[in-house]
A = this chain, B = another copy of it.
Amino acid sequence: METLQAVDASDTQPSCCSAQDELVVGDEQAQRLAKVFKALGDPTRVKLLSLISASADAEMCVCDLTEPVGLSQPTVSHHMKQLVEAGLVTREQRGRWAYYSPVTSVLTEATRSLTA
């Protein structure tokens, strides 16, 4: 009887891993997250996002980003394009200059997906 009871008990255990599987990112989400992280896989782009995030107005003109990173405006614009495409910043053209604002939720959500 004891053996039978033990078998019964094991039958009532939850089926393997269903809750765990839900925490694992799927293929499509992995692609999306990798794009976000890849955009920050470069020290210049890390610094550019840092500058914009730390700016008092929560936005920065491309004209103010060149000097801190010591690069030409076309090069800075090229880096900024990758941050825009990853969703990490938004870009607004105002007259002659482009202005960038951080979208902090994109990085925090991406990180949360991997550390929950």
Cβ contacts under 8 Å, A15 to chain B: none
Given A30-B43, A43-B30, A46-B34, residue A24 in contact with residue B115 (CB < 8 A): no
Residue contact A116 to B54, C-beta cutoff 8 Å: yes
Query: Smallest CB–CB gap between A54 and chain B, Å?
Result: 4
A62 at the interface (CB under 8 A from B): no
Q: Which of A41, A46, A53, A102 has most chain B Cβ within 10 Å? A: A46
Cβ contacts under 8 Å, A43 to chain B: 27, 30-31, 33-34
Query: Smallest CB–CB gap between A100 and chain B, Å?
Result: 14
Which residue on B lies nearest to A113, using beta carbons? B50
Cβ contacts under 8 Å, A45 to chain B: 34
Complex CA gap A23/B53 in Å reads 9
Given A43-B31, A56-B20, residue A114 in contact with residue B25 (CB < 8 A): no
CB within 8 Å of B: which residues of A? Answer: 20-21, 23-25, 27, 30-31, 33-35, 37-47, 49-51, 53-56, 68, 102, 104, 107-108, 111, 113-116
A-B residue pairs in contact (CB < 8 Å), sample of 28 = A20-B54, A20-B55, A21-B54, A23-B54, A25-B47, A25-B50, A27-B43, A30-B43, A30-B44, A30-B47, A31-B43, A33-B43, A34-B41, A34-B42, A34-B45, A35-B41, A37-B37, A37-B39, A37-B40, A37-B46, A38-B42, A50-B114, A53-B114, A53-B115, A107-B115, A108-B111, A108-B115, A111-B111
